[in-house]
Amino acid sequence: KIQERLIKQFHYTAWPDHGVPSSPSSLLNFVRKSSAANPPNAGPMVVHCSAGVGRTGTYIVIDTQLERIAKRKTVDVFGNVQKLRNQRLLMVQVEDQYIFIHSVLLEAINSGDTEIQVEDFPEQMREIMDVNPETGVPRVEEEFQRLGRSVVPPALFKAANMNCNKQKNRYANVLPYDESRVKLSLIPGVEGSDYINANYVDGYMKKKAFIATQAPIPDTIADFWRMVWQECSLTIVMLSNEMESGRIKVHRYWPNKAPAVIGDLMVELMSEQKFEEYMLREFKLTNTKEKASHVIRQYHYNCWPDVGSPSSGAGMIDLIGQVQRWQQQSGNKIVTVHCSAGVGRTGVFCALSNLIERLKTEHVIDVFQTVKMLRQKRPAMVQTKEQYEFCYNTLQEYLDSFDLYANFT
């Protein structure tokens, strides 16, 4: 008789060739997910890397210690590694891996398990929005505050703080991490010509799915379009109005009628359509030197109030859907997202895009970890408690739009 078994393979793809992953949360989420998928009546999990000692040992120690933390509220990494090495030589091969285990466990202790199954979301949502009787503070606010205590790589902003680049930053306190910043092609003889206040941000299904950037200021409009061309971005999402509360939030970086020539690039407004909550503009971007053109769509969401967050998430859900449909038509290139500073509303858009994608695929929601992963690529993503709460409320609206939660896909 032929026997069949279903085998699940979880393949972690974010481990760099050298060193350890940049994000403890990334590996923590992976260990939790893969370990939970192994049923109690199954045989042992098979874990491998290349030699089966360094990364393999790291995974096993993290998994073992997470179980120990849950049951005994204690940690013993040293004893765990020692025991493993008695069973297989060189387990947890290098010091960086040993240190990284501690970072992952610290992340687990500080953050807790914030993943919610979709069927539990309505009840969990009510609990999160309630006031914690012990502290008198809403739990959603406590969760947002915990984001600031999370373990993140050292914040390095060397490029942003170079004298030749300081004036290119719209806000002196919103700067891009060096590690994930978008680097423009250098213009020979022009110091700092590779700098723009922008970071690559990962999507749910794809690394570098987004560029999170500030709205260009007059001196950086040329850099903005250079970036759009260089990165082959065919979608721009704009989440601020030009004027808000009597202050300039976005300097207009596109032409009205006559084409604008910016260095080797020519930008031409082809069409403009007004929808209920956003404007859709279509541009033709031509590189006169290369004699090539791209059609670029700008989705300008214009219903974000000057203070706080939108009262309903329906417009944002629609916007994300429209962007995804255009992305599928145009080849899923990187999406350029900006508000004014490129962190608050920009973070909300990126977070909700990733949360909805994961919701469709895995039927789980984890607002905390999603926002934290964004913040490891660009600081202050989802900047305020109101924006963080808006993410939860929008997901609730998204699920409420289906008759049964099980049918939301």
Question: Are 83 and 191 found together in one domain?
Answer: no
Give the integer Cα–Cα distance in Å for 6 and 14: 25
Question: Are 190 and 299 found together in one domain?
Answer: yes
Question: Are 70 and 168 found together in one domain?
Answer: no
Q: Could you tell me if residue 118 is inside a domain?
A: no
Question: Are 37 and 163 found together in one domain?
Answer: no
Listing DSSP states for 80-119 in one string gives HHHHHHHHSTTSS-SHHHHHHHHHHHHHHHHH----EEGG
239: domain CATH number is 3.90.190.10
Q: What tokens were used for 100?
A: 């990284």
Q: Could you tell me if residue 193 is inside a domain?
A: yes
The values of phi and psi at residue 55, to 5°, are: -65, -35
Question: For residue 314, is pLDDT > 70?
Answer: yes
Question: Are 105 and 222 found together in one domain?
Answer: no
Look up the pTM and report it.
0.92
Q: Could you tell me if residue 108 is inside a domain?
A: yes
Question: For residue 75, is pLDDT > 80?
Answer: yes
Question: Are 100 and 214 found together in one domain?
Answer: no
Question: For residue 13, is pLDDT > 70?
Answer: yes
pLDDT digits (tens, 9 = 90+) for 363-390: 999 999 999 999 999 999 999 999 999 9
Question: For residue 409, is pLDDT > 80?
Answer: no
Strand, coil or helix: 251? coil
The values of phi and psi at residue 141, to 5°, are: -70, -40
Burial class (CB in 10 A: 0-12, 13-18, 19+), 228: buried
Question: Are 297 and 240 found together in one domain?
Answer: yes
Q: Could you tell me if residue 222 is inside a domain?
A: yes
Which of 378, 324, 332 is CA-nearest to residue 354? 324
Which residue type, as a one-letter code, is found at position 372? K
Give the integer Cα–Cα distance in Å for 258 and 255: 7
Parallel, antiparallel or unpaired: strands 235-238 and 243-244: unpaired
Strand, coil or helix: 281? strand
Structural domain containing residue 88: 24-113
Question: Are 224 and 292 found together in one domain?
Answer: yes
Kindly list the catalytic residues: 49, 339
pLDDT at 22: 84
Q: Could you tell me if residue 325 is inside a domain?
A: yes
Of 51, 81, 113, the one marking the end of a domain is: 113
Question: Are 246 and 307 found together in one domain?
Answer: yes
pLDDT digits (tens, 9 = 90+) for 180-239: 999 999 999 999 999 999 999 999 999 999 999 999 999 999 999 999 999 999 999 999
Q: pLDDT tier at 345 (50, 70, 90 boundaries)?
A: very high
| C-alpha separations of 137 from 110, 131, 303 in Å | 18, 5, 29
pLDDT digits (tens, 9 = 90+) for 123-161: 999 999 999 999 999 999 999 999 986 555 556 899 999
Find out whether 209 and 332 touch, Cβ atoms under 8 Å.
no
Of 113, 143, 175, the one marking the end of a domain is: 113
Q: What tokens were used for 185?
A: 């092609």
Q: pLDDT tier at 404 (50, 70, 90 boundaries)?
A: low
Question: Are 188 and 316 found together in one domain?
Answer: yes
Give the integer Cα–Cα distance in Å for 337 and 320: 12
Of 82, 113, 144, the one marking the end of a domain is: 113
Per the structure, how many domains does the chain have? 2
Question: Are 89 and 165 found together in one domain?
Answer: no
Question: Are 290 and 203 found together in one domain?
Answer: yes
Give the integer Cα–Cα distance in Å for 106 and 294: 46
